[in-house]
Chain A
Amino acid sequence: MGNTGHGETFLFWVGSIISILGALGLIFSKKIVHAALCLCTVMLCLAFFYMAQGAVFLGVVQIVVYTGAVMMLFLFVLMLIGIESQDSLVETIRGQRWLAVPFVLAFGFVLIGVYAHANLPEFVGTDAANAKGGGNVQSLALLLFSRYFWAFEVSSAVLITSATGAMVLTHRERTVPRKSQRESSIERFERWGKGEKVSLTGLPNPGVYAQHNAVDTPALLPDGSPSEASVNATLRGRDTVRGFRPLPLPGARRNGAAVASRGDAGNEEVSQ
């Protein structure tokens, strides 16, 4: 069997360790965004492997299409629906998770055993095949537009169908007319009149400060405590509201020592 050069050996061992760690991170990380970043790492490592093996075009396509487009799509969908960060622990099929581990391990051993026992031929290398067309891209194009021409045409049909399908699936027809500001205000007052707890004036804006003015920064109430209602419920659910020290009140600063010595009682007095 032909051996690789020292550079590729180094690249392989570093990249394989990083990609296996990334794959483990994808499986076991609790937050989905971390899982997506781990998958990005694996894909980048694989792109380097493609380039090291003479598939330069595929390496670039891997970065552009997978790491660029596909992962961006994943992150976009996460932004839309990623409110629940936790996986449900309820098992529909009892013991499925614990059963899955030995089965998958057995599958992995079978797969590796097949490779270990296969009578793999000597590695030829892609240099001769790449040189035939005058480069990797040209040689791929020669094959793509001759032998694989029909597959190429069919894949374009697949892409168009999938784009149309995605639009049809996510399209939502508005069945009731959109409520105007006036109508929703009237509805709020009606619900308030029935004794429901609704805010008549609408919810307060997030805080605007010299250091932060993002939507995850809560506004301060007159007593200096952060207002829960000023931050989006999604951010509160994800627990990503920016924490900060409440600003000291002018009165509290003047007799700060007295407030500190009295502890909670002093704070309550201020808030009232």
Chain B
Amino acid sequence: MNPDNYLYLSAILFTLGALGVLIRRNAIVVFMCIELMLNAANLAFVTFSRMHGALDGQIIAFFTMVVAAAEVVVGLAIIISVFRTRRSASVDDANLLKY
């Protein structure tokens, strides 16, 4: 098997994550789809690291994980505080910034 297939897999997973972000309405599911996209990007980083024989790609993937962990913490806190005021976790209901 050609190791390029890892790149195609990461492209497919990223696309599926983007599809989930666009068609789901529940904020938590949208958030999990974003995590899926980040993971797909990490897979591409690791594959490129193997392609070039350098560990920089793995370091970048490591930092992506750190940022993703921070993002999840803040994002879930925002979802909880939106849920407290609006009693809903749907992304369509949080439209107060429009007005």
Rounded to whole angstroms, the CA-CA distance of A92 and B91 in the bound complex is: 10
Once A27-B33, A81-B83, A140-B55 are accepted as A-B contacts, the answer to whether A158 and B66 lie under 8 Å apart by CB is yes
B76: nearest residue on chain A (CB-CB)? Answer: A77
Of the listed stretches A119-127, A207-215, A260-268, chain B binds: A119-127
B11 CB, min distance to chain A CBs, angstroms: 4
Contact of B2 among A1, A77, A128, A143 (CB under 8 A): A1
Interface size class of B (residues with CB under 8 A): 35 or more
Contacts of A8 in B (CB 8 A): 1
In this assembly, does A129 line the interface, its C-beta being within 8 Å of a C-beta of chain B?
yes
In this assembly, does A192 line the interface, its C-beta being within 8 Å of a C-beta of chain B?
no
A78: nearest residue on chain B (CB-CB)? Answer: B28
Once A126-B55, A139-B55 are accepted as A-B contacts, the answer to whether A169 and B70 lie under 8 Å apart by CB is no
A76: nearest residue on chain B (CB-CB)? Answer: B76
Interface size class of A (residues with CB under 8 A): 35 or more
CB-based contact B18/A107 at 8 Å: yes
Q: Which B residues have a C-beta under 8 Å from some C-beta of A?
A: 1-9, 11-20, 22-26, 28-29, 31-33, 35-36, 39, 42-43, 46-47, 49-56, 58-59, 61-63, 65-74, 76-81, 83-84, 88-90, 92-93, 95
Q: Which A residues have a C-beta under 8 Å from some C-beta of B?
A: 1-4, 8-9, 12-13, 16, 19-20, 23-24, 26-27, 32, 35-36, 39, 42-43, 46, 49-50, 53-55, 57-58, 61-62, 65-66, 69-70, 73-74, 77-78, 80-82, 84, 87-88, 90, 92, 96-97, 100-101, 103-105, 107-108, 111-112, 115, 120-121, 123-126, 128-130, 139-140, 143-144, 147-148, 151, 155, 158-159, 161-163, 165-166, 169-170, 172
